Structure 1
Amino acid sequence: MFDSVVLDIAIGLIFVFLATSLAITAGNELLASLFKWRARDLAAGLRLLVGKEGDAGAAGQPDITGALYQHPLLRGLHRDAGTGGDRKAPSYIPPRLFAMALLDIALRPADKGGQLVTSSTAEMRAQIESKRGELGDRVTDALLTFVSHIETDTRGALGKLDRLQRDVESWFNAGMDRVSEVYRRRAQLWSSLLAIFFVAALNLDAIRITRSLANDPVLRASLIAQATETVQREDPRATIPAAAPAPTNTALPEPAPETAPSATASALRQLQTDIGTINQLGIPVGWEDNPPQQSVWWWVNKVLGLLLTGLAASLGAPFWFDVLKKVSSLRAAGRMPPPPETIARNEERSA
């Protein structure tokens, strides 16, 4: 049962879906880098958090986003844009640094020697209220709520400033959860669009690939060998052939600390590598070998096969990697197939 050709074909097809999903992920990363989605979403989420966007009274509210970005604690997170010397907005802000920067702005008066007002909750409340015009209503009210929380908490395990900083960090994390959700929805939309584009451009027809796997034992054995090693190494890119090594890109929360041009170039290299990977798998790719006269039934078959691949690939590489591990574990219970070289030699002898 576990050594059936059907199971071999399933593993090979899942491995193809995994390779296609990796290319779609790389394409998504390239778009995110080109259009600076992370930095823009972060800035929009930050403005929403501090009361500039999405507020009925936003027209009369100050925007402290610029002051936060220019704070020394956050200024170092800006990325180099290249040789021009410009600095690009960060794609990620650690919650602790955000809390420290905001509290530094809110609790540091100009007329008290630069020392934070932290001696009592009453003084903290008064200092925050005095900065309402600078901070805006939403930030001021949020900080005053956190100060009230300190007053009503009788545990006293932490200092007042530490408790306030923890509350601000939690507030920031809740706001960034919304940003991550916006990014995730956009990424899913573009994954679907990229899946349609890649599948149509490369003619990745699930029906045609299945037929090739059913008729070509060498191809089946080759894909199974790669899939098995990939599962054993717990890395979806571990054994897929690549023209050049490239770093794995992640979606959120924290991208690699690269400059903007190098991040885009890295994403482009990864996309080229993943497309080259699909071409090297040995599966039928491209439109060159299609018959010159296509019937209506041929087109129905073709559209159905492309839709199947596109829908499958849009589910994402993590999904297909998990499926591959589960299906491979079923196959591991049976006899492993001979390597592709042995199959090829046996076919030559029988010919």
Structure 2
Amino acid sequence: MNNYLETGIAIALIFFVFSTVAYIFQELIAINLQLRGKLLKKSIQQLIEAKGGLTAFTTSLLSHPQIETLNKTTKSLTSYIPAANFSMAIIDLVCKQAGINTGPTFAGFQAGLQNLKTTNPNLETILSSIYANSNNIQTLQLEIEKWFNEYMERVSGWYKNNNTWITRLIAIGVALVFNLNMIAITQEIFTNSALRISLNEIAERKVTSAGTTATLYNTNYVSDTTALNKKYADKLADSTTSPTIKETLKKEKEAEQLKLAIAYEDKLNSIKKEYLEEIRSKDLPFNWECQPFKKIDPVTGKTVNKTPVDFLLMITGLLIGAAGISMGAPFWFDLMSKLVNVRRAGQKPK
């Protein structure tokens, strides 16, 4: 029974490692293709406009100093907009609809809503209901922030759903590149006691250092850039700041943003390398020893053609590997932790 438990722990470890590798690839793709920023821009358009089509109000919102200063460069949109920035930008633009450029006021917001009826009736209806539940400019700002935060929670769900196909493609790619044939790997682990014990020791270390493992998921590129955005947002949005100083601040921010991106990518690559090297040093059948249609005969040591059964088992094993990777590292880490705790409880005291 202990052999089955140790095999289960080893398999959970392998899935955890390669799920982490897949997650790292997905993060790198999301950063370089600006997937979060593109979805955020599309979501804001959908929030402001009832039937699509970029309106003048949405264009003004995206180029407003409270939001534009969050962008990494002039050609990209930030991956995260604080609710306070969004709220202040909305209030300022609605007040300007009434021709008020001296600063946002509660009465000016009401006057701006009247002019918004013709240009953007969908937004006017929503903001009018928010205005009706507010007593002053401060409560109005808080109500708009609440509306925006609730919407962003749904956007987070859309991001995960929209990128499900990316996750699956990456899982298939990782399984193929590393020859993650889980049928062959499971057989090797179960019959090789030294390998099984070695993998269980690695799993024990991973579970013991759970805090280090969680850092990868608790600290991501979006949260890291939030502090940087806040650092520059007020100064860049301040109308009293001279254009020359603003230009200098923008260059400083872009330089820091670049350093942050490089540091984050280096961190992801170092974790990927560390995890892979730790288990690839074992006698596991990773990588392709020969062509997919060939195999090494265990008796003669020569390369021979695979039989149809061998080929079917390989495809099945790779599909199992890809399916397991797509379930995500947090799932496998949780399962691995539970199995390790069961193994610890079953060990006899010395």
**Does TM-score exceed 0.5, indicating one fold?**
yes
Separation in structure 2 between the aligned mates of residue 47 and residue 337 of structure 1, nearest angstrom: 63
Quickly say closer, same or farther: Cα 1:113–1:38, change in 2 above 3 A. closer
Q: Does 1:149 align with 2:133?
A: yes
Q: Which residue of 2 aligns with 1:83?
A: none
Separation in structure 2 between the aligned mates of residue 276 and residue 233 of structure 1, nearest angstrom: 14
Separation in structure 2 between the aligned mates of residue 177 and residue 49 of structure 1, nearest angstrom: 13
Contact 2:72 2:257 in 1 (8 A): yes
Q: Which residue of 2 aligns with 1:197?
A: 173
Separation in structure 2 between the aligned mates of residue 221 and residue 333 of structure 1, nearest angstrom: 17
Q: Does 1:329 align with 2:322?
A: no
Deviation at 1:298, TM superposition (A): 0.8
Write out per-residue CA displacement over residues 246-284 of structure 1, whole angstroms, 9 at most, x where no aligned residue: x83669893422736863784476257526633540222
**10, 13, 16: which one pairs with 1:12?**
10
Deviation at 1:163, TM superposition (A): 2.4
Where do residues 165-244 of structure 1 align in structure 2 (5 Å cutoff)? Answer: 165-235=141-211, 237=213
Separation in structure 2 between the aligned mates of residue 147 and residue 24 of structure 1, nearest angstrom: 46
SS at the partner of 2:133? Answer: helix
Contact 1:108 1:117 in 2 (8 A): no
Q: Does 1:164 align with 2:116?
A: no
Unaligned runs of 5+ in 2: 226-255, 297-303
Write out per-residue CA displacement over residues 201-251 of structure 1, whole angstroms, 9 at most, x where no aligned residue: 21111111112212322322222122112212224748xxxxxxxx83669
Question: Identity across aligned pairs (percent)?
Answer: 25
**19, 32, 42: which one pairs with 2:40?**
42
Q: Which residue of 2 aligns with 1:155?
A: none
Contact 2:91 2:109 in 1 (8 A): no
Worse overlay, 105-114 or 93-102: 105-114
TM-score, normalized by length of structure 2? 0.77
Which amino acid letter does the alignment assign opposite residue 64 of structure 2? H
Q: Which residue of 2 aligns with 1:285?
A: 286
Separation in structure 2 between the aligned mates of residue 177 and residue 252 of structure 1, nearest angstrom: 17
Separation in structure 2 between the aligned mates of residue 308 and residue 6 of structure 1, nearest angstrom: 18
Separation in structure 1 between the aligned mates of residue 147 and residue 172 of structure 2, nearest angstrom: 39
Which amino acid letter does the alignment assign opposite residue 203 of structure 1? N
Quickly say closer, same or farther: Cα 1:295–1:235, change in 2 above 3 A. farther
Separation in structure 2 between the aligned mates of residue 37 and residue 20 of structure 1, nearest angstrom: 23
**303, 313, 332: which one pairs with 1:301?**
313
Deviation at 1:16, TM superposition (A): 0.2
Separation in structure 2 between the aligned mates of residue 66 and residue 298 of structure 1, nearest angstrom: 59
Separation in structure 2 between the aligned mates of residue 171 and residue 205 of structure 1, nearest angstrom: 48
Contact 1:16 1:278 in 2 (8 A): no
Contact 1:100 1:165 in 2 (8 A): yes
Separation in structure 2 between the aligned mates of residue 65 and residue 137 of structure 1, nearest angstrom: 13
Q: Which residue of 2 aligns with 1:32?
A: 30
Q: Does 1:313 align with 2:297?
A: no
Quickly say closer, same or farther: Cα 1:33–1:115, change in 2 above 3 A. closer
Contact 1:62 1:133 in 2 (8 A): no
Quickly say closer, same or farther: Cα 1:44–1:63, change in 2 above 3 A. farther
Where do residues 123-138 of structure 1 align in structure 2 (5 Å cutoff)? Answer: 124-132=109-117, 136-138=120-122
Quickly say closer, same or farther: Cα 1:337–1:302, change in 2 above 3 A. farther
Write out per-residue CA displacement over residues 53-106 of structure 1, whole angstroms, 9 at most, x where no aligned residue: x51xx55x72323322332222321114xxxxx452111001121111111221
Quickly say closer, same or farther: Cα 1:314–1:208, change in 2 above 3 A. same
Higher helix share: 2
TM-score, normalized by length of structure 1? 0.77
Deviation at 1:108, TM superposition (A): 5.0
Q: Does 1:69 align with 2:69?
A: no
SS at the partner of 1:88? Answer: coil
Q: Which residue of 2 aligns with 1:102?
A: 90
Separation in structure 1 between the aligned mates of residue 180 and residue 174 of structure 2, nearest angstrom: 8
Q: Does 1:90 align with 2:78?
A: yes
Which amino acid letter does the alignment assign opposite residue 6 of structure 2? D
Quickly say closer, same or farther: Cα 1:208–1:113, change in 2 above 3 A. closer
Quickly say closer, same or farther: Cα 1:109–1:191, change in 2 above 3 A. closer
SS at the partner of 1:21? Answer: helix
Contact 1:77 1:93 in 2 (8 A): yes
Contact 1:30 1:264 in 2 (8 A): no
Unaligned runs of 5+ in 1: 81-85, 151-158, 239-246, 339-351
Quickly say closer, same or farther: Cα 1:336–1:248, change in 2 above 3 A. farther
